[in-house]
Amino acid sequence: MSLGPRKTPKQGRARATYDAILEAAAHIIAGQGLAAFNTNAVAERAGVSIGSLYQYFPNKDSLMAALIQRQQEAQLATLQAAAEMIGSEKTLEKVVRSLVRAAMQHHRENDLLASAIDHEEARLPVDALLSSYLEKAGAVVEVMLERFQHEIPSIMPKVAARTLPALVRSVTDAWANLRPPQLEKAEEEAVRAVLGYLRIGGE
């Protein structure tokens, strides 16, 4: 079963349809979880016919694969935006805090989507996709951290790029899922964990 998209639309109308479908899929999973993710619901939410969905995605799994790719691209974009915004920050801690805030926002709004993607990444043969993402994310993190090489000499950026998001996510989850959510505590703990992780190399 092919996981690639059926056709990759170049022009206006088609591109809009393609995007609307992915957006709808993300919205449904984020709001109701994998169990509510079905192609009819996606098409309806996207405001297109079910036939149109299958013009672009040969099957449900290929839609999921495209969604995974889209999330990785979004993640990457967020990361790059953060990288640019904090270009002038002086201290590692402030850089890390910005990173954590960016990641937190992303994950808080997409709890179910993130875990769904985790699961589906493990189920579907999307290894190449994943590697490519890690490569790129690693490059961005590398740039962000290189100014602080003296503080964190032993970090390998590509490795850190995989560990850091997971770390932020789990610590965030642990505190944000409480009732009431303890968001400040979440941020503190996440910053603490990341800094600790980064600095330990210098021990």
Partner DNA sequence: AATGAATGAGAATTCATTCAT
Partner DNA sequence: AATGAATGAATTCTCATTCAT
8 binds DNA (CB under 7 A): no
Report the alpha-carbon distance of residue 51 to residue 30 in Å, rounded: 24
9 binds DNA (CB under 7 A): yes
In the list DNA, its own copies, none, the entry touching 167 (Cβ below 5 to 8 angstroms by class) is: its own copies
Q: Find all residues with CB under 8 Å of 196, minimum gap 6, and list them.
A: none
Distances in Å between the Cα of 190 and the Cα atoms of 7, 63, 99, 173 are 41, 32, 10, 10
175 binds DNA (CB under 7 A): no
Site map for its own copies, 112-151, x if CB under 8 A? Answer: x--xx-xxxxxx---x--xx--x-----------------
**Interior angle at CA 73, CA 147 and CA 34, nearest 5:** 130
Query: Which among 34, 179, 176 has a CA at the least distance from the CA of 103?
Result: 176
49 binds DNA (CB under 7 A): yes
In the list DNA, its own copies, none, the entry touching 32 (Cβ below 5 to 8 angstroms by class) is: its own copies
Tell me which residues touch DNA (CB under 7 A). 7, 9, 11, 13-14, 16-17, 35-41, 48-55, 58-60
